[in-house]
């Protein structure tokens, strides 16, 4: 019986749509857990040399914070990009255009952005957004439900308007040694480099790092799940 190969991260993924991975950057990819996840074959391909590292987690670990600072409030026209989707601040909300309203304070703006991110049709698929007001900043926490990758792009906003912090790594347990300097499989004619992963019921996670210190890397991460 043919095995199902799932695309968990890449431009064509529905649960982990990502753009290029910046120079020396890392993207974490989570494999959905089911009764078919005792063993996973990861298949990673890229147009540059890369390193992969296996991890496990107790639950889907993909998470981040988006911090809006009152001293440098989000302005009309500011954008940020999450998993290839552009979310834009505007004078009025238009979820169908992925626009959220700039409020009278960043607390209001953060609430409006979180509401857009949680929109079932036009929000960020596979993630839930929660707002927490902290002194002079307003923090949106994004946690994964069914998401398999998480990537942020600054867009037209400044980092002191919308600041991104990936909080995934703190939830991961390293599982074995890294596989360093994998060939740029996109240039060899193969479908990718396979990494075996026995996870025994934990959530399997693969970190893929761009080994190029200067240029971005295009990558695709797929997985095949096995019951034993």
Mapping DSSP to helix (H, G, I), strand (E, B) and coil, where does residue 106 land? helix
Mapping DSSP to helix (H, G, I), strand (E, B) and coil, where does residue 170 land? helix
Greater model confidence, 130 or 193: 130
Mean pLDDT of the region 176-180:
85
On the CB side of 218, CA atoms within 13 Å amount to 5
Domain ranges of the chain: 6-60+172-226, 63-167
33 phi/psi in degrees, rounded to 5: -100, 135
pLDDT for 104-127, tens place per residue?
888 889 999 999 999 999 999 999
Asked whether the predicted pLDDT for residue 224 surpasses 60, the reply is yes
pLDDT for 117-173, tens place per residue?
999 999 999 999 999 876 667 899 999 999 999 999 999 999 999 999 999 999 999
On the CB side of 30, CA atoms within 13 Å amount to 30
Does the CA dihedral 142-156-163-53 come out positive or negative? positive
CATH code, residues 6-60+172-226:
2.60.120.680
CATH architecture observed for domain 63-167: 2-Layer Sandwich (3.30)
Q: Which residue has the tokens 């974490």?
A: 28
Q: CB under 8 Å to 103, separation ≥6 — which residues?
A: 109, 111, 112
Q: CB under 8 Å to 205, separation ≥6 — which residues?
A: 28, 29, 30, 31, 54, 55, 56, 57, 61, 172
Specify the DSSP class assigned to residue 85.
E
């Amino acid at each position: 019986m043919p095995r199902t190969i799932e695309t968990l991260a890449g431009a064509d993924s529905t649960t982990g749509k990502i753009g290029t991975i910046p120079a020396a950057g890392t993207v974490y990819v989570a494999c959905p857990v089911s009764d078919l996840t005792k063993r996973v074959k990861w298949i990673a391909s890229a147009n540059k040399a890369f390193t992969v590292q296996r991890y496990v987690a107790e639950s889907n670990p993909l998470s981040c914070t988006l911090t809006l600072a009152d001293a440098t409030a989000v302005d009309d026209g500011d954008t940020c990009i999450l998993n290839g989707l552009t979310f834009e601040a505007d004078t009025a909300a238009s979820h169908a255009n992925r626009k959220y309203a700039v409020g009278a304070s960043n607390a209001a703006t953060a609430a409006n952005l979180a509401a857009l991110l949680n929109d079932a049709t036009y929000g960020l698929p596979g993630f839930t957004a929660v707002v927490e007001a902290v002194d002079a900043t307003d923090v949106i926490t994004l946690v994964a439900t069914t998401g398999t990758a998480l990537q942020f792009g600054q867009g037209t906003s400044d980092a002191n308007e919308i600041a991104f912090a990936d909080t995934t790594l703190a939830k991961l347990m390293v599982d074995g040694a890294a596989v360093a300097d994998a060939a740029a499989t996109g240039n060899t004619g193969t479908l990718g480099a396979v990494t075996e992963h026995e996870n025994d019921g934990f959530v399997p996670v693969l970190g893929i790092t761009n080994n190029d210190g200067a240029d971005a890397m295009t990558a695709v991460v797929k997985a095949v799940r096995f019951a034993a």
